Structure 1
Amino acid sequence: MSTLEEHVDVGVPIDKAWDDLHRVENYPRFVEGVREVRTEAGGRARLDVEAGGRARVFEAEISDRRGERVMEWHTTSDPELVGSFSLQPINENRTRVQARLEYDPDAIRETFGGQKGFAQVNAIERLVRSDLEHFKECVEQGG
């Protein structure tokens, strides 16, 4: 498994960032490749994703530690993806959003195609960074 950690500082209070992060139905607005998200009972979500020219449906379980401002998730089928978002206040109007993703590069390549090795890792890093920047734009614009 490979681990990727990225963060972005957003210009909103932690409560606003936390609330927006939990609106998973809005993920298509800022997560590349996510076409639709439906929340289901028991902390589950169904994500329609297109990546590498391939469409897939993922089921994910989502849990959070509200007091610690940590939201964790994992897919319930292949490819196995495990991730989390943690929020930390910088001051009363700024919040750091830390994303952590654990994945098997070979499983990602098999599922979505694409390049091998270092090039693929760089592509995933760019994608996560881009998604965090898009989240920043959405949350700061009030969307």
Structure 2
Amino acid sequence: MSTVRETVEVEVPLHTAYNQWTQFTEFPRFMEGVDQVTQVDDRHNHWSTSIAGVHREFDTEIVDQLPDERIAWRTTSGEVQQQGLVTFRSLDATHTEVNLAMVFEPSGMAEKAADMTGTLDRRIKGDLHRFKDFIEHRGQEEGGWRGRISPG
């Protein structure tokens, strides 16, 4: 298993950063290798990715979601095995700290090589920085889901 952690400060209010992150279908706009995310229901998403020349499809489940604080997920099917947590912390009225932690198991030779060379780590960290650029450029969220999903 590999772990990636990254923190960025975004120049938008807490609710703006959090609300935009809940718009999973917009992830391809700032995440490299993510072709499409289909939101199945409040808890479940279907992902289509192309990373290191390999196309993968998998499903994720949100296991904990507390508005303006955190979203935790895990894969439930497909060749991709991962779990993650993104947290949000207000620094002041116009700045938010976004922390991302992911644990994943690379599958296949290309993904294992990309992991060993640090390519996957750099890509995931880059995705968080592209989120920063995306939301700061927009200045406001495109929507938001403020429901609570409790663990268990």
8 Å contact 1:84–1:100 — kept in the other structure?
yes
Measure, in 1, the Cα distance between the counterparts of 2:40 and 2:127: 23
Residues 20-31 of structure 1 aligned to structure 2 (within 5 Å):
20-31=20-31
Report the residue type matching 2:14 in the other structure.
I
Report the residue type matching 1:131 in the other structure.
D
Amino-acid identity (%): 25
Per the alignment, residue 83 of structure 1 pairs with 84
Q: Could you tell me the TM-score, scaled by structure 1's length?
A: 0.87
Per the alignment, residue 99 of structure 1 pairs with 100
Measure, in 2, the Cα distance between the counterparts of 1:14 and 1:68: 6
DSSP 3-state at the match of 1:16: helix
Report the residue type matching 1:91 in the other structure.
D
Measure, in 2, the Cα distance between the counterparts of 1:46 and 1:138: 22
Measure, in 1, the Cα distance between the counterparts of 2:96 and 2:37: 25
Measure, in 1, the Cα distance between the counterparts of 2:31 and 2:20: 13
8 Å contact 2:7–2:100 — kept in the other structure?
yes
Q: Could you tell me the TM-score, scaled by structure 2's length?
A: 0.82
Per the alignment, residue 74 of structure 1 pairs with 74
**CA offsets per residue over residues 76-135 of structure 1, 9 Å max, x none?**
12331000100011111000110000122xxx141754527641xx21221112101110
| Structure 1: gaps (5+ residues) | none
| Structure 2: gaps (5+ residues) | 143-152
8 Å contact 2:48–2:57 — kept in the other structure?
yes
